[in-house]
């Protein structure tokens, strides 16, 4: 393999590696958000105060009273169903598990790229000598 081919492959592996690292960071961020959401349910169940600030989006909140602890949960295809905080927490646990599985696949792919990188570095050393 020529020096140019090795450099091209090294560049390609670096690009793929950076993309995978970015995807892993996104998964970590989303998993953290899901964990925070789950902890909010526990606070709702324990809270004596039946008022809270509800996020409308973009940093806009509204003060609201909690008349019923059941939540309205989007279960896909724009279908919303009522769930208890405990039921919703189980849904979130499943989502976290799926995110962790996805992350595991990305980590495996990253390890594979690192192996390829090591092989290319070794081949470049041989070419140099």
Domain ranges for the chain: 3-128
Q: Is residue 55 within a helix (H) or strand (E), and if so which, with residue range?
A: strand 51-57
Domain with residues 3-128, CATH architecture: Orthogonal Bundle (1.10)
pLDDT in tens, 47-86: 767 888 888 889 999 998 888 888 899 988 999 999 988 8
pTM of the model: 0.79
Rounded Cα distance, 16 and 128, in Å: 25
pLDDT in tens, 25-57: 999 999 999 999 988 877 777 776 788 888 888
Rounded Cα distance, 55 and 61, in Å: 4
Residue whose token pair is 């602890």: 69
């Amino acid at each position: 393999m020529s020096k140019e081919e090795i450099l091209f492959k090294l560049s390609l592996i670096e690009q793929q590696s950076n993309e995978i690292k970015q995807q892993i960071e996104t998964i970590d961020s989303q998993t953290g958000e899901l964990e925070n959401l789950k902890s909010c349910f526990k606070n709702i169940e324990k809270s004596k105060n039946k008022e809270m600030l509800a996020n409308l989006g973009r940093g806009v909140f509204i003060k609201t009273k909690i008349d019923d602890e059941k939540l309205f949960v989007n279960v896909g295809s724009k279908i919303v169903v009522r769930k208890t905080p405990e039921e919703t927490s189980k849904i979130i646990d499943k989502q976290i598990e799926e995110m962790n599985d996805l992350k595991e696949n990305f980590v495996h792919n990253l390890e594979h790229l690192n192996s390829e990188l090591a092989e290319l570095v070794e081949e470049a050393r041989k070419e140099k000598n």
